[in-house]
Structure 1
Amino acid sequence: MIYIALSVFCSVIVAVLLKLAKRYEISIIQAVTVNYFTALTLCFFLFKPEVSLLSESAPWPIYIALAILLPSIFLVLAASVKKLGIVKTDIAQRLSLFIPILAAYFIFKEGFNQYKLIGLGLGFLAILLTFIRKSDQEKKSNNWIYPIVVFIGFGVIDVLFKQIALYKSLPYTTSIFTVFAMAFVVSIAIVAYLVVTRKTKLQLVNLACGLILGCFNFGNILFYMKAHKALSENPSTVFAAMNLGVIVVGSLVGILVFKEKLSKLNYVGIILALVAVVFITLSQNAVR
């Protein structure tokens, strides 16, 4: 369980760093670019990807889609944390698991049981309750669109990564390395454009923040994979503990550390989100 705890810790720290970015005037896109370089480097030394196995038959369209989506959704994630806080953003990210579940039903023709249906229903209700705004000023804003994009974006990314996992001709770690490398190139292109058009300036503080962000972002992936390896006979335990852990710890950090204000309905939404993840986990056990 130590790997799960470390993965949860790294995931929440990423959200905290994004929350602090505005306070210290960090350029998110520059930090994200360095983040992918850091993750790419760590992936190379720790996973030893077999790049020589890459060929024209590799799932390049999926790699390209992920290379574009990853930095893009990361920027939206940062905006969501900035505008709506850690609590609502973490819940949106974790409940995005419902999109690959729906994809499994409509695309991969997997069956649904009663637990999965209940979990989906509670999950969507949790989303509605969690994102209800408190004041008239908040209701007039369009900030709610950020967690919605996070919800959809991470769901699509999860589906694409699952498709890569099904491609048995290449080790999964090689695919991850390739995606990180391409995402890094896309991020560099964005930064280069912003620098040339003088919309941003390169600063060392962004480099430092990106290195830290990259370490924790990669740590989240590394420990999550190690948890699945250590508990290979109980993947649903890893799945539930990870998602529940991030929702609970993220909510506590947002409320206690950053004093994020939530309504009673928002708290009900958090509880429903936890229950929804439990039912999804039960549905996985039922299938087995």
Structure 2
Amino acid sequence: MIYIVLSIFCSVTVAILLKLAKRYQISIIQAVTVNYLTALILCYLFFKPDVNLIHSSAPWTIYIALAILLPTIFLFLAASVKNLGIVKTDIAQRLSLFIPILAAYFIFKEDFNQLKFIGLGIGFAAIILTFLRKQREQQSTSSKWLYPVMVFVGFGVIDVLFKQIALYKELPYTTSLFVVFCLSFFVALVIVSLMIFKRETKIQLVNLGCGLILGLFNFGNILFYLKAHKALSSNPSTVFAAMNLGVIVLGTLVGLIAFKEKLTLVNYFGILLAICAVILITLSQLNAI
């Protein structure tokens, strides 16, 4: 259980760092670039991937898609935390689990039970209620809806792609993860290089330091999540539920207490529905076994 707690802590800490980035005028793209370099090095040290196993028949299309999506969605994640706060961003990220579930039903033709259908319905209601704002606030924030929507869709698509990598048995999952981090770092580095060439940004030590810390916690989230699944291999639904519920609850507490984020009564009801949705989907998975 300690691995789940550590994974939750790392996940919420990433959101906190992105929230503080605005206060200290951190260049997010520079931090994201160093973040992937850090994750790449840690991936090599902890998982010791065998690069000799990587060959031309590996799922390169998925690798490249992830390499483009990961740094891009990270920027949307940062923008969402900056404009709408930790609470709503964490819920958008956690409820993105509905996209791989829908993909399983519509694309991979998996059987659904009644609990999963109910969980999905409640989850979508939770999304609407969590992001609903007072009418006078809607006009000033309507354009900011793009950020959590992109977080929701982006992380959902990323989850589907990672699940496809997991099905590719000719390469260990951690080796594929190493390849994805390599390519993601390259994509982010190209973006930063272009911005420096256009004089839209300049390298600053504070950005590199923030990226290093961000990478440590981002990788920690992945490492402890994988360790939790390994330790509780007979109960994957427990890991799934504890992780998603833990991030929603801890993210909400941090947002409300530490950053004084404002929520309406309707928003609180949306958070409650989000928790119910995760529980129902977890129960539906247990029933499917």
SS where residue 285 of structure 2 aligns? helix
- Residue 144 of structure 1: CA displacement? 1.2
Q: Does 1:278 align with 2:283?
A: no
Counterpart residue number, 1:79: 79
Counterpart residue number, 1:14: 14
SS where residue 143 of structure 1 aligns? helix
- Residue 226 of structure 1: CA displacement? 0.3
What pairs with 1:96-245 in structure 2 (closer than 5 Å)? 96-141=96-141, 142-245=143-246
- Residue 139 of structure 1: CA displacement? 3.2
Alpha-carbon displacement from aligned partner over 1:152-187 (angstroms, at most 9, x marks no partner): 000000000000000000000000000000000000
The question of whether the paired residues in 2 share the 8 Å contact of 1:19 and 1:81 is answered with yes
Counterpart residue number, 2:65: 65
CA distance in 2, matches of 1:186, 1:212: 20
Q: Does 1:94 align with 2:91?
A: no
Aligned residue identity for 2:183:
M
SS where residue 144 of structure 2 aligns? coil
**Could you say what the CA RMSD is over the residues aligned between the two structures, in angstroms?**
0.7
Aligned residue identity for 1:57:
S
Query: TM-score, length-normalised on structure 1?
Result: 0.99
CA distance in 2, matches of 1:196, 1:135: 43
Q: Does 1:257 align with 2:265?
A: no
Aligned residue identity for 1:156:
V
CA distance in 1, matches of 2:30, 2:247: 26
Query: TM-score, length-normalised on structure 2?
Result: 0.99
- Residue 46 of structure 1: CA displacement? 0.5
Where structure 1 has 5 or more consecutive residues not aligned to the other structure, the ranges are none
- Residue 93 of structure 1: CA displacement? 0.1
- Residue 145 of structure 1: CA displacement? 1.4
CA distance in 2, matches of 1:8, 1:91: 13
The question of whether the paired residues in 2 share the 8 Å contact of 1:130 and 1:270 is answered with yes
Aligned residue identity for 1:39:
A
Superposed structure 1 runs of 4+ greater than 2 Å apart:
137-141
SS where residue 202 of structure 2 aligns? coil
CA distance in 2, matches of 1:179, 1:213: 17
Aligned residue identity for 2:14:
V
Alpha-carbon displacement from aligned partner over 1:83-130 (angstroms, at most 9, x marks no partner): 000000000000000000000111111001011001000000000000
Q: How many residue pairs were aligned?
A: 288
Question: After alignment, is 244-253 or 100-109 more displaced?
Answer: 100-109
CA distance in 2, matches of 1:135, 1:264: 14
Alpha-carbon displacement from aligned partner over 1:213-263 (angstroms, at most 9, x marks no partner): 000000000000000000000000000000000000000000010000000
- Residue 43 of structure 1: CA displacement? 0.2
- Residue 135 of structure 1: CA displacement? 4.9
- Residue 195 of structure 1: CA displacement? 0.3
CA distance in 1, matches of 2:37, 2:10: 18
The question of whether the paired residues in 2 share the 8 Å contact of 1:86 and 1:251 is answered with yes
Where structure 2 has 5 or more consecutive residues not aligned to the other structure, the ranges are none
- Residue 279 of structure 1: CA displacement? 0.3
SS where residue 22 of structure 1 aligns? helix
The question of whether the paired residues in 2 share the 8 Å contact of 1:133 and 1:139 is answered with no
Counterpart residue number, 1:28: 28
What pairs with 1:32-51 in structure 2 (closer than 5 Å)? 32-51=32-51
